[in-house]
Chains A and B, each alone.
Chain A
Amino acid sequence: MTAETVLVIDAEVLVRHEIAEYLRGCGYRVIEASDTDEAMTVIEHSGLVLDVVLCDAQAVGTVNAFALVREVRERAPDLEVVLAGNVEKAAKAAGTLCDEGPHLARPYDPVLVLDRIRRRLAARDRARDEG
């Protein structure tokens, strides 16, 4: 079985590397992006089939994390998105861009991240089976 692929977007390399290594250890293929520009390049041009995007709500780049999520939902509706971040800061950043706040606190609790990713993928697979 091919490993499911997670795109991790986080500007803080130590945080990104730690959660990426944890998820690799759990059997996922993990692609690392340091900002939203790298993430969009991977989504649009890598040719990879991505399953989950784990994105810091404070991610930097030409577009912010919420605009990236909106882009992803338009271009790749099957791609599951998990936002992580400080709730208060993220709420301010969200403004009118997006009505959805972060799903996870950051710094990451790796076990919670894994649980959220598994739940998202399970829900996706159930929806596909029913569809």
Chain B
Amino acid sequence: MVEDEVLVRLDIVQSLDEAGFAVIEAASAEEAIALLDAGHDVDVLFSDVRLGAGLDGFALARHLRRSHPRVAIVMTSGTAALPNDLDDGRLAFLTKPYRVEAVLSHLAAAVARS
């Protein structure tokens, strides 16, 4: 779960935890990459597109496709549209504001596909 706004991260991590997911949280794309590179076993990455000063979510998705291609990806944004190079049916995109049920459904589907 990658989200740079701490209160948003707090809410969604709690919801995912209550839904039975084992959640690893990251405050930035760089933190997410560090966790994955350290060998943490991740099935699906759920990330906001806007992630503060560093890499954005799309750059993170491109990085993961090269470095960790088995990790399914679900992205979310209230403003950005999915770029053409990532719009190949393998990346789920969720428009904000979202309902938690929609997040859970997308994550479960992504895990099933991975």
- Determine whether the beta carbon of A45 is less than 8 Å from that of B31: no
Contacts of A34 in B (CB 8 A): 6, 27-28, 31
- Determine whether the beta carbon of A42 is less than 8 Å from that of B6: yes
- Determine whether the beta carbon of A46 is less than 8 Å from that of B10: yes
Contacts of B35 in A (CB 8 A): 13-14, 17
In angstroms, Cα B44 to Cα A50, docked, is 30
Would you call B71 an interface residue if the criterion is a C-beta within 8 Å of the partner chain's C-beta atoms?
Answer: no
The residue on B at minimum CB distance from A39 is B6
Contact code string A1-41 (vs B, CB < 8 Å = 1, else 0) = 00000000000011001000000000000011110001001
Contacts of B7 in A (CB 8 A): 41-42, 45-46
Q: Return the contact of B38 from the options A14, A31, A45 (Cβ within 8 A).
A: A14
- Determine whether the beta carbon of B6 is less than 8 Å from that of A13: no
- Determine whether the beta carbon of A38 is less than 8 Å from that of B38: no
- Determine whether the beta carbon of A13 is less than 8 Å from that of B10: no
Q: Return the contact of A38 from the options B6, B26, B34, B40 (Cβ within 8 A).
A: B6
Given known contacts A13-B35, A14-B34, A31 and B27 CB-to-CB distance under 8 angstroms: no
* CB-contacts of B5-38 with A (<8 A): 6-7, 10, 24-28, 31, 34-35, 38
Contacts of B26 in A (CB 8 A): 13
Contacts of A45 in B (CB 8 A): 7
Contacts of A42 in B (CB 8 A): 6-7, 10
In angstroms, Cα B25 to Cα A116, docked, is 25
A76 to chain B, nearest CB (A): 17
- Determine whether the beta carbon of A41 is less than 8 Å from that of B6: yes
Contacts of A17 in B (CB 8 A): 24-25, 35, 40
Using a CB–CB cutoff of 8 Å, the interface residues on chain B facing chain A are 6-7, 10, 24-28, 31, 34-35, 38, 40
Interchain residue pairs with CB less than 8 A apart (13):
A14-B34, A14-B35, A31-B10, A32-B27, A33-B6, A34-B27, A34-B28, A38-B6, A38-B27, A41-B7, A42-B6, A42-B10, A46-B7
Which 5 A-B residue pairings sit nearest by Cβ, starting from the closest?
A34-B27, A13-B31, A38-B6, A41-B6, A13-B34
